Amino acid sequence: MNTILGSIRHRVSVSNTTHLIWCGAIILIMLILAFLHHRWKGDDKKIRLWRFLCLVPLLIAGVHALIYVYGFPLFVTGFVPMYAIAVSALLPVPFAKRRIGYGISAALTGILTSICGFFFLGLSPDYFNHTRESYTDSFHSMVQDMDSYYILKEWKEVDLAGLEAKYMPMVQEAEQANDPAKFEDAVTLFCNELHDGHVSIQRQYDKEKYKSAFAPHEYGLAMIKLDNGDVIAVCTTDEVNKLGIVDGTVITKWNGKPVGQAAEEDVMDPGLPVKANAERIAAIYLSGMGGETVEASFLDESGKEKTVTLSDLGEPHTQMEALKAFTNCPEFGEEDEYDSLNKENFSTKMLNDKCGYLRLTAEGTDNVLYDILVGYLTGDHRQAREMFRKKLRDLKAQGMEYLVVDLRNNMGGMDEVGCALCDLLTDQDWYCQGLGIRKNGEYKCVSDHGIHGDGEFADLPVVAITNFTCISAGDGVSLYISKLPNVTLAGITDPNGCNQETGGFSALSDGLIYVGFPVGLILDENGVPNIDTGADLISRDPVEKYIPLDYDAAMKIFRDKEDYELDWAVRYLEEYSK
């Protein structure tokens, strides 16, 4: 019970007080209307007035929508429970003079109000509508929103005012040019300095008409840094092949700079929480940086350095091809990425006669109400645990002796779903996360959630593979599963490095851009933010085994498009089981 009450307390602390007041006003008016009906039910004239007054909750909801939703209709989804309460006030109107009809409709209104009110109490969104403001004013307002609600302001040691001053000139320049792409560039640079995987930017403008200054060029190759420090060409095209650059060619300089120096100095900070992850993929981003031409130096077949001029070939594609190969996600960056990954969630198969495979792309089941009302509030997702139990038993019946859990590109969700899997892989209890409250920059845990050791598969050798696009609850599962003695967490990169609860959104000028940020506090057993990196950008849920990225591995990943990480995991388990 303490876990449930603490979880509710945590959610209430995250809810937006302003919107709760609006909702409270609607409910108060409805209570007054119920009282007036009791007093006036025998007076036809007053009942006609009462029916008219039943429109007041709807009027309040309409005013709320004009203030907080108008100009950015996407926000309406967050206020559906409150607006549903206002609409329900009209249910008793047709039955105002009928005792039984009024009693039934009033009861339905009360039930609907209770359910929607409960959900809105815990899920009242931190939505901020600045669409009617200018570029500069909305940018300033966004910073103020984050100053009040961004949950990691103290942990990240963020100087929001200093960052605003740093990037406001770019915003002013964008405003003078009326260029939404320049505006987005400024907001992106601001957000990237937070190094938070939960700080996201979405845009709604004509990207064909307006181009970002950071849009990549296409020079016919991508690059990747190997473990030995070499930077090699990958995903090369015929155009650069004719110049002597092929897959695996060592690139030494980019536009006259040593390639490592260029990657460090010239690549825009991608905003990744873990610095080592950003350094690993910096060469991929460098491969799209330059002008109409760029000079590339490389080692030819004889080992001599040679310099050639690469021309912009038009529509960029090799950089994205490299990212898709590196993440083993063919839909990476595409509109259907979410749907495609979601279809794979919880899928299983046998990789060979002995090795089972379980894919986790998100921590959410088809039963959303159970996820929230039982899994999240109690910290124990029994339904998910039984689902995983059935899947693992099916694999065992097919001969499974060891298992690969694939967490790559995990989009997050409810940590409790991932903990339910861990329940089966251990016979011990482990602490996972605490739902917290932040007040005056200090943290307090109000609800402890963890692994409840079931033990059925505690002796099963497991490798969990992860990567830098494994985020949020996926980050959580990476950490929790790595605690178990029979599990090894592996990857070429560490997980993304963020685990707080999302929910804050600021819609900027004309709805061209909206920024999301975390507002709910998740703590570890030491009472500090769970997983999220501090100002040092060092991973707090690192992999236990780094999968080597040498020349041969790069060729398998980028040239042959093989799933090198999965193959490595299977070989590791085979050796482990000998």
Domain holding 285: CATH number?
2.30.42.10
Q: How confident is the model at residue 449 (pLDDT cuts 50, 70, 90)?
A: very high
Q: How confident is the model at residue 309 (pLDDT cuts 50, 70, 90)?
A: very high
Is 504 inside any structural domain? yes
**Nearest partner of 289 among 210, 201, 214, judged by Cα:** 214
Q: How confident is the model at residue 546 (pLDDT cuts 50, 70, 90)?
A: very high
Q: Are residues 185 and 247 in the same domain?
A: no
71-115 pLDDT, tens digit each: 999 999 999 999 999 999 999 999 988 889 889 999 999 999 999
Contact 476/418 with Cβ under 8 angstroms? yes
Residue 370 belongs to domain with CATH number = 3.90.226.10
Range of the domain at 93: 17-124
Q: Are residues 293 and 425 in the same domain?
A: no
Q: Are residues 278 and 418 in the same domain?
A: no
Pick from 124, 156, 181: which residue ends a domain?
124
Q: What is the pLDDT at residue 282?
A: 98
Q: What is the pLDDT at residue 384?
A: 98
Q: Are residues 290 and 357 in the same domain?
A: no
Ramachandran angles phi, psi of 252, nearest 5°:
-105, -35
More confident residue, 293 or 12: 293
Is 440 inside any structural domain? no
245: tokens are 């650059």
**Nearest partner of 37 among 85, 116, 98, judged by Cα:** 98
Residue 205 belongs to domain with CATH number = 3.30.750
Q: Are residues 238 and 199 in the same domain?
A: no
Q: How confident is the model at residue 197 (pLDDT cuts 50, 70, 90)?
A: very high
Is 84 inside any structural domain? yes
β-pair partners for 518: 502
Q: Are residues 523 and 558 in the same domain?
A: no
Q: Are residues 104 and 249 in the same domain?
A: no
Q: Are residues 119 and 167 in the same domain?
A: no
322: tokens are 């490299």
Pick from 96, 124, 152: which residue ends a domain?
124
Q: What is the pLDDT at residue 1?
A: 63
Is 466 inside any structural domain? yes
Provide the 8-state DSSP code for 68: H
Q: Is the pLDDT of residue 519 over 80?
A: yes
Q: How confident is the model at residue 406 (pLDDT cuts 50, 70, 90)?
A: very high
How many CB atoms lie under 10 A from the CB of residue 235? 25
Q: What is the pLDDT at residue 254?
A: 98
Q: Are residues 538 and 415 in the same domain?
A: yes
Least trusted range by pLDDT, from 1-15, 148-162, 433-447 = 1-15
Q: What is the pLDDT at residue 96?
A: 84
Give me the mean pLDDT over the 110-126 stretch: 90
Q: What is the pLDDT at residue 553?
A: 98
Q: Is the pLDDT of residue 2 over 80?
A: no
Full DSSP string of 353-370: SSEEEEE-S-B--S-HHH
Q: Is the pLDDT of residue 61 over 70?
A: yes
Rounded Cα distance between 422 and 446, Å, is 23
Q: Are residues 187 and 241 in the same domain?
A: no
Contact 247/234 with Cβ under 8 angstroms? yes
Contact 124/23 with Cβ under 8 angstroms? yes
Q: What is the pLDDT at residue 484?
A: 98
Q: Are residues 110 and 167 in the same domain?
A: no
Is 130 inside any structural domain? yes
Looking at the chain, the whole-number percentage of residues with pLDDT higher than 90 is 90
457-469 pLDDT, tens digit each: 999 999 999 999 9
* Average pLDDT in the chain: 96
Is 400 inside any structural domain? yes
The count of structural domains within the chain is 4
Q: What is the pLDDT at residue 122?
A: 78
Is 295 inside any structural domain? yes
E-only strand ranges, 492-536: 501-507, 513-523
Q: Are residues 312 and 279 in the same domain?
A: yes
Pick from 109, 124, 139: which residue ends a domain?
124
Q: Can you list the alpha helix ranges (DSSP code H) found in 425-472?
A: none
Is 461 inside any structural domain? yes
**Nearest partner of 296 among 343, 350, 346, 231, judged by Cα:** 231
Angstrom CA distances, 397 to 90, 356, 365, 460, 488, stand at: 57, 11, 24, 14, 23
